[in-house]
Structure 1
Amino acid sequence: MHVSIVGGGAIGLLYGARLAMAAYDVAIWTRTGRQAELLNEEGIEFVARDRLAVVPVAAYAVADGAQQDNYALSHDRSVVFVTVKQPQLTDALVDHVASITRSGDFVIGMQNGIGHMDRLMRALPGRVVLAGVTTEGALRHHPRTVEFTGEGQLHVGSIAPSHPSIRDESTQEVEKVRESGQKMLMDMLAKAGITAILSNDMSNRIYQKLLINAVINPLTAIFDLSNGMLPAHAARRALMRALHEETFTALNAAGYQEEGSEESWERLLQVCERTASNISSMLADVRRGSMTEVDWINGGVCEVAARYGQAAPLNAAAVSLVKALMK
């Protein structure tokens, strides 16, 4: 199975390096030609606590139309990990994914927030489109250097469209490919040392990660703190709790199944403790002056709340405050 990684950020380089080290044929599709040149010339520099490796990969710029034209035809079966952040999941990028895949290929959307799976399913008929939710940590230090900062799990599985207007385009043939290919996909990830779980409950997984991101990401960005420092102050902890309760209530109305609000709150605190030294992706974006995912995370919660007749003033405030940081 051939592997394409669309996105040369931290998660893209992390998965690309690990799959290439497991002897899979890996191509990284990058936003810039310069990053593609670096990866082709010098490979991915993979950094972990007990390991430093330089991993050769093929790399292409997304804008390189000449490479796109023949790419899908040159591989019998492909799996494509779409690892760009939500702001980069543009119509042009989705068209690129369509151009490098064929009917029966696997496409795994790994964005934070919500809304991305509907876009991919709508634009990629005939492909096996799966959702991916990872709890692994990675930090990109350089266009070719990624540090593996925390082990976790990758949950992968199908998800139903959230809007009736998105028809299920799956044919009987595609379903056969899904059934046969999922085991191959799981075997591939296991060979690369990636703890992957095939899930029948991806909507819940996405909501669970959305809940965690909706609290940690904007507040660490606003207060300019690592994850572990966020609950260390009483006022910040109270704000965390209030934002958690509002988000939990909205997602619960949408069908999120959880043991209870208290158990969910304890899980959130455990994530802060387990990733204490981590800088959230939203804080990293703010520090770089890059567009954040706040519209798809806290803005996504606002959309869910409105759909079920609820208010989400704290999530709306988080959107406004994070955007104010960028002005």
Structure 2
Amino acid sequence: MVYLRVAILGAGAIGSLIGAKLVQAGFDVLLHARGEHGAWLAASGLEVSGIESAEITADQWTVTLDEIEIGDNFRQCCDLAIITSKANNTRELSHVAKYISKGAILTLQNGLGNLEILSSIVGAKRSFAGTTTHAVTRLGPGKIDWRHFGEIQLTSNNPFFEVFEKAKLNPKKYDDINSILWLKLLYNVAINPLSAIIGRPNGALLSDPLRSECLSIFFEAVQVARYEGIMLPENHELETNLLDLISNTSENICSMLQDVKRGNITEIEMLSGEVVRRGEIHGIPTPKNALLLTQVQALQI
């Protein structure tokens, strides 16, 4: 099935890439963005470099800006909506999605709890969750660099699969989305906070003492996930996958480091904060994730 109009809500680096690929695939795309990047998308379009070079002109999509109230003419104007923002904006953009979309809504975000927030606002029948391993860095307003070709991970009944397939974004179907979301969180808590604190690309974590610290943080969070009944590979496989991921994205500047450099609020509460919160519920100590939570919060002041 081909949908005429798809909204991308929270069009930062990954959202801009998805929007560009959907435009190339023939979809009518609406982006909802903010700040200088959003203004640039509206006025001049987007330049994509890295794995694929492309240019989307401003007249190839429609852009609404967070700073300007969305008009009545946008009510129920989209067939589908995809939320790609930072997790701290989920509630706000779920309301935007409810206003703009008349169909299914996908949260394609980091962290835990996004689907629950979305479902509480638009209803469970219209709400879907997924995640992505594509790595994208915003170089400046209207410019992104696609640094790692990954996949978009969805449940088998997800109505967005054909959309991403047509856009050549490598969607994959999984039976247990909770395990996929948890696995993405585990990788994020091991990589993003440390990279943000030291101010270096992912590859810096491959050398000790950072390598050992990264693994300690990772397996502290794994313990919480296993207690919650999340099905995960054996620890030796998890370690290999984590180190392979860091190696494959060694030049990538993670989104949390990008946020710190720009003075933006990070997703630390939905990542390390969720590990700490759930650990406290289950009586599992998480001192390393608690320390990361405090340190990254301090960087945001």
Q: Tell me the number of residue pairs that the alignment of Structure 1 and Structure 2 aligns.
A: 296
1:118-133 aligned within 5 A: 118-125=116-123, 127-133=125-131
SS at match of 2:93: helix
What 5-or-longer segments of structure 2 have no aligned partner?
none
Distance 1:262 1:59, change over 3 A: same
Amino acid at match of 2:256: M
Amino acid at match of 2:94: V
Distance 1:54 1:100, change over 3 A: closer
SS at match of 1:46: strand
1:38 equivalent among 27, 37, 40: 40
Residue in structure 2 matched with residue 94 of structure 1 by the alignment: 94
C-alpha distance in structure 1 between counterparts of 2:63 and 2:291, whole Å:
40
- 1:93-143, Cα deviation, whole Å (9 max, x unpaired): 3322211123xx111112211111110011112652111110001111223
Do 1:6 and 1:80's aligned partners in 2 also have CA atoms closer than 8 Å? yes
C-alpha distance in structure 2 between counterparts of 1:238 and 1:36, whole Å:
39
SS at match of 2:283: coil
Residue in structure 2 matched with residue 223 of structure 1 by the alignment: 198
Do 2:9 and 2:33's aligned partners in 1 also have CA atoms closer than 8 Å? yes
> Which is higher, the Rg of structure 1 or of structure 2?
1
What 5-or-longer segments of structure 1 have no aligned partner?
159-178
Deviation at 1:282, TM superposition (A): 1.0
Distance 1:151 1:49, change over 3 A: closer
Do 1:6 and 1:30's aligned partners in 2 also have CA atoms closer than 8 Å? yes
Deviation at 1:205, TM superposition (A): 0.2
2:69 equivalent among 53, 65, 72: 65
Do 2:134 and 2:150's aligned partners in 1 also have CA atoms closer than 8 Å? yes
How does the TM-score come out when normalised to structure 2?
A: 0.92
Distance 1:25 1:269, change over 3 A: same
Distance 1:121 1:224, change over 3 A: same
Residue in structure 2 matched with residue 79 of structure 1 by the alignment: 80
Residue in structure 1 matched with residue 274 of structure 2 by the alignment: 300
Residue in structure 1 matched with residue 288 of structure 2 by the alignment: 314
> What is the CA RMSD across the aligned residues, in angstroms?
1.9
Residue in structure 2 matched with residue 266 of structure 1 by the alignment: 240
Distance 1:73 1:217, change over 3 A: closer
Residue in structure 1 matched with residue 161 of structure 2 by the alignment: 186
Do 2:47 and 2:144's aligned partners in 1 also have CA atoms closer than 8 Å? yes
C-alpha distance in structure 1 between counterparts of 2:73 and 2:165, whole Å:
30
Residue in structure 1 matched with residue 49 of structure 2 by the alignment: 47
Report sequence identity in percent.
27
Do 1:107 and 1:127's aligned partners in 2 also have CA atoms closer than 8 Å? no
2:211 equivalent among 225, 237, 241: 237
C-alpha distance in structure 2 between counterparts of 1:63 and 1:151, whole Å:
32
Deviation at 1:18, TM superposition (A): 0.4
Do 1:62 and 1:96's aligned partners in 2 also have CA atoms closer than 8 Å? no
Amino acid at match of 1:84: S
Deviation at 1:37, TM superposition (A): 4.5
